[in-house]
Structure 1
Amino acid sequence: MKISLLFVLAASAALGIALRSPLFVTVGGLIAFGALHNVLELRYVAGRFSSLLTGRFLAVLLGLITAIVLCRLAALVVGEPARYAEILIGYAVLAAACVHGLRGWRLGAALFTVVVALAGSLTFAQYHFVILAHLHNLVPLFFLWEWAGRLRRPGLFRWTQVAWILVVPVLVLLGTFDFALSSSGAFARFGIAPPGSSELIGTRFLVVFAFLQTMHYFVWVYFLPRYAPEAPTFLLGRRAWLLGLGLAALLAIPFAIDFASGRALYAAFASYHAYLEFPVLLAAVAGGSQLVFRETASDRQVPAAV
């Protein structure tokens, strides 16, 4: 109950500032918490799903995602060809997860779906990256839903997550909060609205992105490090925070010189955590009982605050 209320309060505050200052929230949040949340998320995923991310599968994922990093850097020079290459490699990541976690007709159906989706993404590449930007902010629903399995009564917590991750963004896009909206034409520079959107529609998408990004940081920087501190030994405790803050300081330099270039460099660096989420989610959901989570002390003892 207490943790569900914590999320209600955090989401209310995040929505309030996103409605009034979506551009400031998006840019300021990215600079302040972007690098740190990358490190903390990778720490959690590597610790919680250590039985999945091993051996050849992990090597394949790291190789493919490194290629995506190079594509994002190359896009600064060659433009669109590198973006199409990223789409191809991104679907290769999904295909690798399907091959790893599925067998028989399920594997065939999953690979067919991947091919169909790839064709759609190549045809409508601009929409692909808009969807990818928002989808990344929706992924915490899976991790929080899975985390709630350690609670005695997970229902209220889980549906609280559904409310802020899915219901609130839909209400914003439908215009429910237009009375409090601060118009901004800045959405175009972030690629988070459908091409050709009006200022009103684009601003709604920017608000949704600013709201979900803020809550995304809340989940990875505050909630999961506090209530689910699973981590491999080389990234325990203070060292993870020092690494994240150090990277943030380094990335602040290109952000200060030229925000667009700094954001492009950040996007390349962030490829590891962004693209690693999807195969973990896909393999966990599709693999079902085949996936064995690493048992930790926090699995056996729920924090008192819960």
Structure 2
Amino acid sequence: MATSVVPVARSAGGVLPTAGFAVAAVLALMLALRAPATLAVLGLATFGILHNVLELRYVAGRFEQVLAGPFLRLLLVLITGIVVCRLLPPGAFSRTAEILLAYGLLAAACLHALRGRLLPLAAALLVLGAAAAASLAFPAYHFVVLAHLHNLVPLVFLWEWSRALPRGRGLFLAVQCGWVLAVPALLLAGALDGVLAPAAGGVARLEAAYTPPAWLHTAAGLRFVAVFAFLQTMHYVVWVWFLPRYAPDASAAFERRVPVLRGGRAWALGAAAGAALAVLFATDWAQGKALYAAVASYHAYLEFPVLLLLVSGLAPAVLSDRRKDLL
């Protein structure tokens, strides 16, 4: 894969990936406007598990210097607790436990990232305490926000990746901000209602998961489902197409760390597990969705400590010499 990318990426700078994102965003928006529920469901069944595997490969490889040792073990213990919560019957106890474990994960990341910096650490913990109180008071809002926030996270990884672009970074970032921020804002504001297909039965089944309770059973419900379908599709574009192709150094680092998944084995694992889950989706959607939500906790919740490490400046150097050669 790397050898085919080198001459193209080096000669074009950021032009090819920028154009790829622009085309993908247009296509994803067209599908999200006409069939948001179908796009969300089929996208999850087709790419859900695969993108989990590829994202974990990128994060574990790119941030191998910080996601290691006792810190990584603590994160995995906390996330495993969240997985258990998601496998339990839905209820107040499991929701409260997941929220507490999630904020415990963030607190652990803050303590690791800001150790020795008392004022920033105190401020971060104060913000986390206030956010945790709000989440516990309004758990339904917490999980809706979490669902959409997960689809916004790639912007940070793309921003970090773009720091090594020799040229075209401004246009690359403008396109990313366009699909991550501008398109959802237009959808939620109702600017695209004229071309948004009327709500069907599938939309009604998804509204509760992706719409804040105050806007349920209003026109905003369809907009939130369309936003989720669009952002989820672009989320898959990032993890299944872009980063595997344009960040091979992260894949190489992961393969040194986990040699059993070298080459195409990670892809094969994701495809096989995804196919098995797709069968479960087809036979029992509710059970398949619950199982996916549990398994997906590892990649979804591991993102947030990494983001804190990026913000605090504890992430490793942006690019290796090998990756610079690819650009």
TM band (smaller chain): over 0.9
Deviation at 1:2, TM superposition (A): 2.8
Deviation at 1:41, TM superposition (A): 0.3
Distance 1:106 1:56 in 2: 23
1:267-295 per-position Cα deviation (integer Å, ceiling 9, x unaligned): 00000000000010012102x2x332475
Distance 1:134 1:72 in 2: 18
Structure 1 pair 108–188 and aligned structure 2 pair: CA distance change class (3 A): farther
1:218 corresponds to which letter in structure 2? V
Q: Which deviates more from structure 2 when the two are superposed, residues 234-243 or residues 293-302?
A: 293-302
Deviation at 1:44, TM superposition (A): 0.3
1:5 corresponds to which letter in structure 2? A
The corresponding residue for 2:41 is 27
Question: Which 5+ residue runs of structure 1 have no aligned equivalent?
Answer: none
Q: Where do 1:1-306 residues align within 5 Å?
A: 1-74=15-88, 77-102=89-114, 103-153=117-167, 154-184=169-199, 186-190=202-206, 191-196=209-214, 197-229=216-248, 230-231=250-251, 232-233=254-255, 234=258, 235-286=261-312, 288=313, 290-293=314-317, 295-303=319-327
Distance 1:50 1:295 in 2: 13
3-state SS of the aligned residue for 1:156? helix
Deviation at 1:155, TM superposition (A): 1.5
Aligned length: 299
Structure 1 pair 158–261 and aligned structure 2 pair: CA distance change class (3 A): same
8 A contact 2:211–2:224 mirrored in 1:
yes
2:266 corresponds to which letter in structure 1? A
8 A contact 2:86–2:294 mirrored in 1:
yes
Distance 2:318 2:80 in 1: 26
Distance 1:223 1:291 in 2: 21
Distance 2:147 2:296 in 1: 12
With the length of structure 2 as denominator, give the TM-score of the two structures.
0.88
With the length of structure 1 as denominator, give the TM-score of the two structures.
0.94
Distance 1:142 1:194 in 2: 24
Deviation at 1:261, TM superposition (A): 1.2
Distance 2:76 2:299 in 1: 11
Structure 1 pair 145–295 and aligned structure 2 pair: CA distance change class (3 A): closer
Structure 1 pair 250–293 and aligned structure 2 pair: CA distance change class (3 A): farther
RMSD (Å), alpha carbons: 1.4
Deviation at 1:116, TM superposition (A): 0.4
